[in-house]
Structure 1
């Protein structure tokens, strides 16, 4: 049995994460290349969210025993190794998004309009957020949960609801809808609370009603900032991430 603080345990966990995540990326890319336009539209909306959550789950919340050891050991080494996989994805997004690396499958699976430069926006922000959640906040901080859930879950859900039911626009921003903002706050809150219970089950954090209240405040603030005209100018993926981290840092 490997020690819970074993270097081998961390290296093995890092290898498993890399294999799982990049297998998922390859599958998603190949499916997008062979898929129809409808799938490509779906991929452009949700691939960043799905892949980021997959990164987060594999790196954080799967502490199941693999080869008689924990998924990652506590502390700096485990956090650093967990950040490697999404960190590599940052480099991929920069290379492909700048046109240095030609990868039609990745562009098709992670962009809405088939423009490789789109990867320098949402997909890049997703990868950076997951890397920070691993390296800085690791699995014992609700700040990482808030950042992931409000960007990688809430923002995509808000876009879907807003497009379908967003007939009533916000009076101060005609590009955003009331339905989309409500959906974003709701999805951010529910997903954050769900992750809180999951982390708590494995003993990483101590759940509390105060934390639940914090997870309500953060998505409300993120949805408010996302609804402002400035988010249209700067890219809401960036403003939502910064708002989530800032507000949750004050609360938690």
Structure 2
């Protein structure tokens, strides 16, 4: 933002990103409080939007590790928030309702915590020049989030190896994760952070497919798909990119 002073530019970018992220979370807290959406749908709307909107703000930051660390402050603060609320130290009923499946504050120590940890890791370790970052965030946010929403609505036909997952949900996850990945590839490429190619598109195809298979496995139900999907994405992504 300020080419003459990268520190000031990154600081301003962090303030703006924090305001945007807070506005997104505040929106879904209000919808949860007013009961506009079903609680599970509201939770997934948080899941889908936060990481994707956060990535849209990355071009405001400087290149290099300093920009990545400043950007990581946003999910980093949310890690602290999840820990405090999950341990019952910080009370915030609206946040708990918007991010938990059953309204139990202890749920924040699982899925929501894994979620912000993944985004922080992708930001600090890989940053915006790596397709692994794009694949990790897009499959976690768009893929896994849309899968749950579509699966609940149209998932009458279950998978033969997991009655908790449906064909509709899995197709939705692959499609949303893949399309979002290609979209962000083009977005970051337009700023010169990476060079888009058909090989990269194929890599996103493979990673989204692997993430979908892992998400549909019964193990992801036992553990948490906010944990298994990012792990699968990072592992497969390290081979295909």
Please tell me the TM-score bracket, short chain as reference: over 0.9
Root-mean-square deviation over aligned CA pairs: 1.7
1:41 & 1:167 partners in 2: Cα distance? 17
2:154 & 2:6 partners in 1: Cα distance? 52
**Counterpart residue number, 2:170:** 181
Identify which of 150, 161, 166 aligns with 1:172: 161
1:220 aligns with 2:209: yes
Deviates more, 1:190-199 or 1:6-15: 6-15
Does the C-alpha gap of structure 1 residues 27 and 180 become closer, same or farther in structure 2, counting only changes over 3 Å?
A: closer
**Counterpart residue number, 1:12:** 12
SS in 1 for 2:37: helix
The 8 Å contact of residues 48 and 146 in structure 2, kept in 1 or not, is answered as no
SS in 2 for 1:100: coil
1:215 & 1:5 partners in 2: Cα distance? 35
Scaled by the length of structure 1, the TM-score of the pair is 0.90
For residues 185-226 of structure 1, give each alpha carbon's deviation from its aligned partner in whole angstroms, at most 9, with x where no partner exists: 111111100111111111111000000000000011111111
Scaled by the length of structure 2, the TM-score of the pair is 0.93
For residues 69-116 of structure 1, give each alpha carbon's deviation from its aligned partner in whole angstroms, at most 9, with x where no partner exists: xx2110011111110011000110111112121111111121232111
**Counterpart residue number, 1:26:** 26
* Structure 1 runs (4+) greater than 6 angstroms displaced: none
Please state how far the C-alpha of 1:163 moved relative to its aligned partner: 1.5
**Counterpart residue number, 2:186:** 197
SS in 1 for 2:165: strand
1:149 & 1:201 partners in 2: Cα distance? 18
Q: In structure 1, list runs of 5 or more residues that go unmatched.
A: 64-70
Please state how far the C-alpha of 1:5 moved relative to its aligned partner: 5.6
Identify which of 76, 86, 99 aligns with 2:75: 86
**Counterpart residue number, 1:44:** 43
The 8 Å contact of residues 43 and 112 in structure 1, kept in 2 or not, is answered as no
Q: In structure 2, list runs of 5 or more residues that go unmatched.
A: none
**Counterpart residue number, 1:131:** 120
The aligned length equals 241
Please state how far the C-alpha of 1:12 moved relative to its aligned partner: 1.6
1:8 & 1:101 partners in 2: Cα distance? 31
Please state how far the C-alpha of 1:19 moved relative to its aligned partner: 2.4
